[in-house]
Structure 1
Amino acid sequence: MTEFGAIGASRPLVLVGGGRMGSALLAGWLAQGLHGTAIIVVEPDAETSRRLKAENPDVTVVPDLKKVRRDPEVMVLAVKPQVMGDLLSDAAAFPQALFLSIAAGKTLDYFAQAFGANAAIVRAMPNTPAAIGKGVSVCVASGKVKEDQRRLCTALLGAVGTVAWIDNEKLMDAVTALSGSGPAYVFYLIECMAAAGQAAGLPAELADMLARQTVAGAGALVEASDDESTATLRRNVTSPNGTTEAALNVLMGENGLAPLLRHAIEAAARRSKELSA
């Protein structure tokens, strides 16, 4: 448990928000050896609170930050951006904490204005595959974050997937557009592949199964092929004048998948920038 630093009963980890991402993080921490007695979850929803208590009997669950009586080592802010403003004043009562936010669009400066210029703040963008330990998170830190605090954030987010750091916060809009929103693009690709299979004559159930398993299998192959580029993997399955080449001639055409995805990610990055303004 050394990777979790000084987190313990006297200086706990406070998780604000027990929704899907918060619950995924909590499960990852417990699986990695952080004891439940070192965690306090702040969750106002009664039904979610009951579920969390039933699933994690050692974890303390409280309805709001005013019920937190111990100074936390780290406070993880895992609530939706639109409700973040409602809890900032209560969170600011713990100025010695490391603040780790996973709220999209909320900048380091946004939190510094609430917590003070000396606050240690890390902004992170995880994505939904964190729910099965396959997420990817990109982090950026304020100037007050110490090296051991960076390692702590890496350990906390690493419990649910891969972690990367950037120095330029402006890149977070592109990160949000690519990896934060990216799972939705892949899910839509599966929908489109299944629909195209049906249009080609396949039964709906078979088309859906084939689309799902093809994308899942291709992703697993990418993960297992660290020494090969995705371009190499693509070429490996493309026989000259074969069926795959015929399809790729469409997908790689002037109006094919590459410009479409570029426009989509540009649109998502623009929206991310608008939301953080």
Structure 2
Amino acid sequence: MGDASPTLADLLGLSPEQRPWFYSALFMVIALLCAWAVDRGFSRRGRALAILMSGGDLSAEADTRLRFVRRLIVAAIVVFGIALALGQFDGFGRLATSLLASGAIAAAVLGFAARQTLANLVAGVMIAITQPVRVGDWVTFEDVYGEVDDVRLNYTYLRTPGNQRVIIPNEKLASGILRNDTLATRSIDLEVALWLPHTVDTDRAIAVLHSETGCQVTVAETRPEGLRLSVVGDPVSPPDRGRMEGELRTRCMSRLRADGLLPVAAPEGVAAATANQ
């Protein structure tokens, strides 16, 4: 039988000590190239194929899942490449064997160290499947209002109307209380809350506000310190909500003051309740 074919390391004239480092670097480069190719393929061809299969524009649900699956596959390729690279060293093999021998301890230590990261990853998978938020949705989370810019493996990115980026860990998002204004429809109603003291003629205030705005005006809540009027306008697009609610609130307050129905200085309890809205 003839001699075995020379390997790439033989052709390069690498010594036995150099070979593990060479193959380790080679596997990492191959893994990164594969990850890049998959990412580019999903970004272009995968998106085009999804649009073709849906017969029109790509839905928010499909877009969110496509992004998440793409990143999950890329991460898996990179992790596999790192494992192959480390496997070229004999010391790593002995370390892996010893860790497997004490698997319970290793699993406990690793799980504790990566608890937050794994929790965010699991929460990200659940968000991608159940989709309480989708790319393009307008949501409110812990007093932050904005558009879902991206749902990644560990974090969800919001873009506020002021073009700021808010980064929320997926575990916190999955376990918190979230308001999604565009989960079922792409427009939302304007709603303004106005607090008035009980001394104000409520019927007259409702009639004045309805005459001024043409909106539906109702008593939404009563408290010992005052009552809350709700002024509901026509649906608007989410990006315009903040600006148009501010304009509507200003019109309502100006008209109430002009008719003597809104005190210049509200009672302390009413002011506090208004600040909480």
The two structures have a TM-score, normalised by structure 1, of 0.30
Instruction: Tell which structure's C-alpha radius of gyration is larger.
Output: 2
The structure carrying a bigger strand percent of its residues is: 2
